[in-house]
């Protein structure tokens, strides 16, 4: 199997707003993952953060995607946010056992920590990660401000991530915070998304960027310019980044991802994206 230089994905694979322009009329909700995987190389697995799927659902996800597709499932919030990594060895074991049919399709497991998880808990993070199977790839997203001040706390975190070969997940929420919250969607997005500095550092071989864009492509161009330099640099160094595209409501996230990927493809050699299933065999119409 050929290793992709970069994997492009969205925060979810099932969205009713995508029915007319992405999946195509008549597509059943149970077929959306398969349609999504025809175009994108990966997906954020937010669903496992909120609830564990059934065993049959895990098998269905495996069977709906090609061998080269990769999930980046989040660890359950019970582990990361409620227990904050304490006393959850059995919960971790049960979750990974449930997800075993998909282990070969995991790009990285995502450990997203709450904003209150401070450097004072760094030893807890290290202890928890020793419980995590060494053969499974892990990405870690921190949100406490002290991990972004370039001081001893952040230096210690980054050095440890590099030593253990854990990827530090990079949140780029600049676009969504660049405009006033003039509607309920933006209010909710600015309430939920962290506004943290962007530290474009690859601590392992699969750096993940979560780019929280605005619906219009043009409104994101200035914010995406640094990634048009950093991503090709990482690729030239032999790294294989993940680029996850969000918008406030994700209604037009597929088109935004498609446009940003094309800008990258103008700079670095990337395989072409397939056209959206709804438009295969015909000229694709822009939604912008």
Per DSSP bridges, beta strands 42-45 and 208-213 are unpaired
Residue with tokens 């330099």: 229
Contacts of the segment 77-86: beta carbons below 8 A, 24+ positions apart: 77/49, 77/50, 80/49, 80/111, 80/112, 80/113, 80/114, 81/114, 84/113, 84/114, 84/117, 84/121, 84/124, 85/113, 85/117, 85/121, 85/124, 85/125, 85/127, 85/128, 86/124
CA proximity to 253, closest of 179, 184, 169, 185: 185
Is residue 31 predicted with pLDDT exceeding 80?
Answer: yes
The mean pLDDT value of the chain amounts to: 93
pLDDT band at 281 (very low <50, low <70, confident <90, very high): low
Is residue 249 predicted with pLDDT exceeding 70?
Answer: yes
In this structure, the dihedral spanned by the alpha carbons of residues 184, 186, 190 and 191, taken in order and rounded to 10 degrees, is: 10
**Rounded Cα gap, residues 259 and 264, in angstroms:** 9
**Rounded Cα gap, residues 11 and 192, in angstroms:** 14
Question: In this structure, what are the phi and psi dihedrals at residue 213, rounded to the nearest 5 degrees?
Answer: -90, 170
At 65 the pLDDT is 98
Contacts of 196 (CB under 8 A, 6+ apart): 143, 145, 148, 171, 173
**Rounded Cα gap, residues 120 and 281, in angstroms:** 56
Q: In this structure, are residues 211 and 172 in contact, taking their beta carbons and an 8 Å threshold?
A: yes
**Rounded Cα gap, residues 72 and 80, in angstroms:** 16
Q: In this structure, are residues 212 and 176 in contact, taking their beta carbons and an 8 Å threshold?
A: yes
Q: What CATH number matches the domain at 7-279, 3.50.50.60, 3.40.50.300, 3.20.20.410, 3.30.930.10?
A: 3.20.20.410
At 285 the pLDDT is 40
DSSP for 141-198, written as a single string: E---GGGGSSSHHHHHHHHHHHHHTPEEPEEE-TTTTSS---SHHHHHHHHHS-----
Give the tens place of pLDDT for each residue, 99-127: 999 999 999 999 999 999 999 999 999 99
Domain spans of the chain, in order of start: 7-279
The pLDDT > 90 percentage for the chain reads: 84
Is residue 288 predicted with pLDDT exceeding 80?
Answer: no
**Rounded Cα gap, residues 99 and 225, in angstroms:** 37
Give the tens place of pLDDT for each residue, 187-216: 888 888 889 999 999 999 999 999 999 878
């Amino acid at each position: 199997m050929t290793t992709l230089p970069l994997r492009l994905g969205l925060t979810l694979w099932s969205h009713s707003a995508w029915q007319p322009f992405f999946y195509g009329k008549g597509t059943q909700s149970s077929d959306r993952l398969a349609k999504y995987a025809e175009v994108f190389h990966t997906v954020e697995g937010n669903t496992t953060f909120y609830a564990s799927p059934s065993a049959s659902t895990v098998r269905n996800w495996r069977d709906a995607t090609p061998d080269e597709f990769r999930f980046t499932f989040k660890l359950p919030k019970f582990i990361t946010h409620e227990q904050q990594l304490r006393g959850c060895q059995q919960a971790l074991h049960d979750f990974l056992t449930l997800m075993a049919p998909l282990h070969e399709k995991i790009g990285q497991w995502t450990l997203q920590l709450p904003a209150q998880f401070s450097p004072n808990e760094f030893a807890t993070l290290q202890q928890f990660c020793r419980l995590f199977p060494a053969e499974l790839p892990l990405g870690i997203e921190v949100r406490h401000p002290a991990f972004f001040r370039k001081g001893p706390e952040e230096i210690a975190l980054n050095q440890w991530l590099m030593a253990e070969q854990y990827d530090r997940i990079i949140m780029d929420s600049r676009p969504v915070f660049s405009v006033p919250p003039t509607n309920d969607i933006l209010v909710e997005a600015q309430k939920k998304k962290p506004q943290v500095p962007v530290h474009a550092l690859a601590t392992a071989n699969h750096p993940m960027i979560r780019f929280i864009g605005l619906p219009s492509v043009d409104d994101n161009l200035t914010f995406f310019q640094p990634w048009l330099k950093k991503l090709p640099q990482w690729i030239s160094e032999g790294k294989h980044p993940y680029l996850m595209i969000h918008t406030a409501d994700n209604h037009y996230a597929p088109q935004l991802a498609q446009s940003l990927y094309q800008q990258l493809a103008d700079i670095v050699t990337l395989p072409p994206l397939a056209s959206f299933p709804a438009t295969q065999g015909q000229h694709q119409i822009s939604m912008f």
